[in-house]
A and B are shown apart, each in its own frame.
Chain A
Amino acid sequence: MTFEATAGHCGPEARSDCWVRVWRPEPGTAPEVTVRSKVASMYGPSIHAQLIETRTTLGADDLSIEIDDQGALPYTLMARLEAAVRRLRPETRASALSPPPAFAGAGLVRSAERGHGLRRSRLYLPGDAPKFFINAGLHRPDAVILDLEDAVAPAEKDAARILVRNALLSVDFCGAERMVRVNALPAGLADIAELAPHGVDVFVLPKVESADAVAAAHACIQQAYAASGLLVTIETAKGVLQAAEIAAAPGVVALNLGLEDYAADIGATRTRDGRESAWARGQVLNAARAAGVQPLASVYADIDDADGFLAWARGEQRMGFEGVACLHPRQVALAHRAFAPTPEEVALASRIVEAFEAGLAAGVGAIAVDGRMVDAPVAARARRALARNV
């Protein structure tokens, strides 16, 4: 029988986080709440009150609490306490108490308005590092990926899932599409079941090798009465061979090849120009196009090399991919620049849209620009090009 549990992180590196210990006091002694906080002079009483309220919601009024706080925001405090209580008492139900919204003004953007259809940039956020969550949307990525997989240590998976859930409830990502990368199936199904009710636009599935796995994830989302799409990541030789079936599986909105794992799987050494994955990238791109889902490119690891990133992302764009993943916010603007149309393309697209709308107004279905036919699909493509113009 365990008598105490801890969660979270402390120490000077743990900015905007906290460490919580809960334990059952000696019989006959009252449970205590001890708060040590960097922001005690500003928020001490409010931290105290929030811990007690959260404890009640978790049905754990009999537990003592000790906290070392490095300026954690309310949603993080609540997540860390919940993680500690659930570690001590696995039977505890997920907290019914929503964290207070950490935004003002416009607030959370509804699912239908998020992401504006572009996925030029998707910014990775390590799922156990709350300090990166709160301002992620300010860098205006098309999507954020709250990562429960590679970015989270195995022992912290449970706590990260709770933290990510609270972030989904609380943090304003400024209209970015909200993606969550779950753990590889079947473990990832539990992530999906717990997070699907909380407004996840897209679940990112790692290491997918079959359409069946995708179908299982899709069923799990439907069970939660959610409508999240799936971004499927293929990371193995086997998965590449199944790309067409995987892309056509239910719920899939985009397809991506994870280069690091794929190179390891086929026994290749990664090169700067990526020749070892050229065939697989072509396969995945082709499978995505054939199934009518979005082909997305992978990541560029050197976050200090802006020129390298830009050249790489432009190469992926020319190959047919519609977006890249970003490991640092400074890559977001570069990604948008890489996927921006050229000035010539912008000029042409403007003329096409203008002519098409004039045609519509005049009741003419098809018109010509620069001697080329312009119909609805051509006009739609021109509109997408203008949306990418940064």
Chain B
Amino acid sequence: MTLQPNPDTGRAAPIEANGRPLTPFQGVGAVIPNGQRKAGPRVRSVAEYPLNGDKRAPNLREALRRAGLRDGMTISSHHHLRDGDGVMLRVFDEAAALGARGLVWAPSAAFPCHAPLIERLRDGTLERIEGSLNGPLGEYASRGQMAGMAVLQSHGGRYRALQDGDLRPDIAIIAAPAADAFGNCSGTQGPSACGPLGFALGDAQYAEHVIVVTDHLLPFPCAPWAIQGSLVDQVVVVDSIGDPARIVSGTTQVTRSPDRLLIAEYAARFVREAGIVRDGFSFQAGAGGTSLAFTLALREHMRALGVKARFVRGGSTRYIVEMLELGMTDYILDGQSFDLEGVRSLRDNPRHLQTNPSITYNYHGKGNVAALVDCAVLGATEVDLDFNANVVTHSDGLLLHGIGGWQDALFAGCAILAVPSFRDRVPIIKDRVTTLCAPGEMIDVIVTERGIAVNPRRADLLEAVRASGLPLRTLASLKAEAEAICGGPPRPAALTDHPIGVVTWVDGTALDTVYQVAGG
């Protein structure tokens, strides 16, 4: 495996992954596709499909067989069912039963419920997983046990990879909470309702063969359709596509962690003092502990100022649904729903809009929504003194998280990382992040429980908050304080020089390498 050092980032990135050449990262916005055409599946004819529009296959195994499942194929899927997904384990069980080997799974995200796929990696049904690795699967890869490279992409990066032909699924599996026999899909109906289905859009558009799997078959037309049946080859009806309790939570709870609440309050005060909270503004709301607490804190500041947002980018939860219903925002632009209130609102409220990674995040498009958002509060596993950040590996080197929409959302007007200065005894501010997932120029502010560091590149923000009374600090002083608490600087992660993954930037260039951890 050849790695190419990059003097600008101080990193070395692979020049190819799984037989596909990679362009090195050359700076934000530096690589413009030059005359390249979009990829796409074969052109098909209505004459190839049942005239009555009934595309049902008797079962999943038969559908895979009809799809022409062969060794080495790439199977893609979306992650709207999150940790409640009951489809993908069955897909690979059926693939194994059909004798397929060396498959590639390309999910938009993996969850702990997918840990049993380690068995499929071991028995050779799966060769590797591309796109996103979390928890147990990530740890498996980190220990050098997975063949091939883990290609880590953001949500926008994945859509771009599909569009540009870097990722060419042979078969897309679209788990749908509701569908008709023609293949129209909805995420807001049925016992396993999950909200939007936007992450499946790229799969439906660019995979050679598209199989919809549903447990709630409706008579034609299944409306409103999040995925249109004209993109779908087959429909499979199963008893259940997953565990509703783990697909969305009944009701989202705000963290009680004093430290997270403090960080969230600092972040909310920062955006207020910076003048971002004004009529018609917009923000990105996550469902993570600190993000959610930020949304609530921000809500109080909006009330105090008498200010209303034009739109909130979700992850929808009951809290932003309340804001919509109270008139505190005109719209929710929703990529995924995290609780039942989010699902209900998306289904019933015309101002609760469903989005997809094409319009929100795709960097190889004619603009995207992420860049129109005024502020976004995100997390990170590590940051360094130059505001570079890591979101995929922990300080012990283990690959435990996917990139998600993190890189894409950094294009917001004010990108804030809300992180503790240390977790238990793990300092978060490092001399050098274990894995580079975004260059420091993308990160405007780092908010910790001990103070707020503003990127010196953002002189405008610094000027705006200078007299605010907020605890403004340098990253160096925050780092020194956290290290004093933790008993000195931590030793760097013990890594081998064996690459197990590549972090790609939103434009598809190779940003950094993920290495196998030492000591098995």
Do the beta carbons of A42 and B396 come within 8 Å of each other?
yes
- Interface-side segment among A69-77, A82-90, A229-237, A339-347: A69-77
* A:113-154 near B, CB below 8 Å: 131-132, 134-135, 138-139
Q: Is A43 an interface residue (CB 8 A)?
A: yes
Q: Is A308 an interface residue (CB 8 A)?
A: no
Do the beta carbons of B486 and A43 come within 8 Å of each other?
yes
Q: Is A222 an interface residue (CB 8 A)?
A: no
Can you list, as one digit per residue, whether each of B476-502 has a CB less than 8 Å from chain A (1) or not (0)?
Answer: 010011011111101101100000000
Query: Given the complex, which residues of A lie within 8 Å of B480, measured CB to CB?
Result: 104-105
Q: Is A381 an interface residue (CB 8 A)?
A: no
A77 to B477: give the CA distance in the assembly, Å.
25
Query: Given the complex, which residues of B lie within 8 Å of A303, measured CB to CB?
Result: 256
- Interface-side segment among A95-103, A243-251, A257-265: A95-103
Contact of A328 among B256, B423, B425 (CB under 8 A): B256
Query: Given the complex, which residues of B lie within 8 Å of A135, measured CB to CB?
Result: 258-259, 262, 449
The chain B residue sitting closest to A74, CB to CB, is B487
Q: Is B113 an interface residue (CB 8 A)?
A: no
Query: Given the complex, which residues of B lie within 8 Å of A101, measured CB to CB?
Result: 484
A46 to B487: give the CA distance in the assembly, Å.
8
- Closest chain-B Cβ to A170's Cβ sits at a distance in Å of 9
Q: Is A41 an interface residue (CB 8 A)?
A: yes
- Closest chain-A Cβ to B470's Cβ sits at a distance in Å of 14
Do the beta carbons of B258 and A41 come within 8 Å of each other?
no
Contact of B425 among A72, A132, A330 (CB under 8 A): A72
Q: Is A210 an interface residue (CB 8 A)?
A: no
- Closest chain-A Cβ to B338's Cβ sits at a distance in Å of 20
Q: Is A337 an interface residue (CB 8 A)?
A: no
Do the beta carbons of A73 and B485 come within 8 Å of each other?
yes
Do the beta carbons of A39 and B258 come within 8 Å of each other?
no
Contact of A139 among B258, B424, B493 (CB under 8 A): B258
B424, B477, B491, B493 — which one has the most chain A CB atoms within 10 A of its CB?
B424
Do the beta carbons of B423 and A71 come within 8 Å of each other?
yes
Contact of B490 among A42, A102, A139 (CB under 8 A): A42
A71 to B397: give the CA distance in the assembly, Å.
17
Query: Given the complex, which residues of B lie within 8 Å of A70, measured CB to CB?
Result: 424
- Closest chain-B Cβ to A153's Cβ sits at a distance in Å of 22
Q: Is A256 an interface residue (CB 8 A)?
A: no
Q: Is B89 an interface residue (CB 8 A)?
A: no
| Interface size range on A against B | 20 to 34
Query: Given the complex, which residues of A lie within 8 Å of B477, measured CB to CB?
Result: 104-105
A100 to B262: give the CA distance in the assembly, Å.
26
- Closest chain-A Cβ to B268's Cβ sits at a distance in Å of 13
* B:233-281 near A, CB below 8 Å: 256, 258-259, 261-262
Do the beta carbons of B450 and A138 come within 8 Å of each other?
yes
A42 to B162: give the CA distance in the assembly, Å.
39
A265 to B256: give the CA distance in the assembly, Å.
32
A344 to B115: give the CA distance in the assembly, Å.
63
Q: Is A38 an interface residue (CB 8 A)?
A: yes
Query: Given the complex, which residues of A lie within 8 Å of B388, measured CB to CB?
Result: none
Do the beta carbons of A73 and B491 come within 8 Å of each other?
no
Contact of A134 among B261, B426, B483, B485 (CB under 8 A): B485
Do the beta carbons of A43 and B262 come within 8 Å of each other?
no
Q: Is A329 an interface residue (CB 8 A)?
A: yes
- Closest chain-B Cβ to A383's Cβ sits at a distance in Å of 21
Query: Given the complex, which residues of A lie within 8 Å of B423, measured CB to CB?
Result: 71
Q: Is B395 an interface residue (CB 8 A)?
A: yes
Do the beta carbons of B396 and A15 come within 8 Å of each other?
no
* B:413-428 near A, CB below 8 Å: 423-426
Can you list, as one digit per residue, whether each of A292-316 has a CB less than 8 Å from chain B (1) or not (0)?
Answer: 0000000000011000000000000
Do the beta carbons of B258 and A16 come within 8 Å of each other?
no
A38 to B485: give the CA distance in the assembly, Å.
17
- Closest chain-A Cβ to B41's Cβ sits at a distance in Å of 45
The chain B residue sitting closest to A44, CB to CB, is B491
Query: Given the complex, which residues of A lie within 8 Å of B491, measured CB to CB?
Result: 41-45
Chain B residues in the interface with A (C-beta under 8 A):
256, 258-259, 261-262, 395-397, 423-426, 449-450, 477, 480-481, 483-488, 490-491, 493-494
| 9 sampled A-B residue pairs with Cβ under 8 A | A39-B424, A41-B397, A42-B425, A46-B487, A71-B423, A73-B486, A135-B258, A138-B450, A329-B262
Pairs of residues from A and B, 7 with the lowest C-beta to C-beta distance, nearest first: A71-B424, A42-B490, A104-B484, A329-B258, A71-B425, A41-B396, A104-B481
Known: A43-B425, A135-B258, A330-B261. 13 other contacts (CB 8 A): A41-B396, A41-B494, A43-B491, A45-B491, A50-B487, A71-B424, A73-B486, A73-B487, A100-B487, A103-B484, A138-B450, A328-B258, A329-B262
